[in-house]
Amino acid sequence: MEEFLKATEIIDWTQPLVSSKARELSTGLTRAEDIARNCFEWVRDEIQHSSDFKRNPVTCRASDVLAAGTGYCYAKSHLLAALLRANGIPTGFCYQRLSIDDRGAPFSLHGLNAVHLPEIGWYRVDCRGNKMGVDAQFTPPLERLAFRLVFPEERSFSEILPDPVRVVIAALRRFRTWDELYKNLPDWAESSLSDSDVRI
């Protein structure tokens, strides 16, 4: 599980702001499941989704997401991974390919997490933030993700990755405002995200 606990440039959980928030969110809790739920609900509810709230800047590193209080689904998943890893809970990254407007093409990647819980194993959670028609919850072992697949071109990739994928990081670094990124959301149409060209 070592690679799912590491600190990186993006998942910078050793940064003081992140490690302090991780300690705060786990205060008084001992079970991994309770800590994971607390961190998940905090990121889901307290970090505003960039396009839902039309918030700048576009964030990427976990510490930047925390400091700005906003991020796209990808960035929010980076922060959740950092908070959980800081608490010793293995956390990875998962992706779906979804319709952007719920009417078919165009499509884009959607980022979420998988958390390894002692009594359950890997469990996927989606901290993008709830709104009308979106009700993601932490209810292990039952998954309650934000979106369901509707169109043939949509897919839920099975891989649990230790690092975010290249195409996502590139987009978050390239665009400065929420609307610029919204017009250029990253996509990956292949059947697998395990290709070395995709991973960072």
pLDDT, one tens digit per residue, over 130-173 is 999 999 999 999 999 999 999 999 999 999 999 999 999 999 99
Whether the pLDDT of residue 29 is over 70: the answer is: yes
**Cβ-count burial 137-148 (b if 16+ within 10 Å, e if not):** bbebeeeebbbe
State yes or no: pLDDT of 190 exceeds 70.
no
Q: How confident is the model at residue 189 (pLDDT cuts 50, 70, 90)?
A: low
Q: Minimum mean pLDDT among 6-10, 91-95, 99-103, 178-182: which range?
A: 99-103
The 3-state DSSP class for residue 172 equals: helix
Report d(CA 146, CA 194) in Å as an integer: 23
- Asked if residue 157 lies in contact with residue 193, where contact means CB atoms within 8 angstroms, the answer is yes
> Quick check: 200 pLDDT over 70?
no
Mean pLDDT over 15-38 rounds to 98
- CA–CA separation, 82 and 105 (whole Å): 33
pLDDT in tens, 46-70: 999 999 999 999 999 999 999 999 9
Question: How many other CB atoms are found less than 10 A from the CB of residue 96?
Answer: 22
Partners of 137 in the beta sheet?
Answer: 144
94 pLDDT more than 70: yes
What is the reported pLDDT for 197?
A: 38
* Structural domains for the chain: 2-182 (3.10.620.30)
Q: Which helix (H) or strand (E) holds 144?
A: strand 142-144
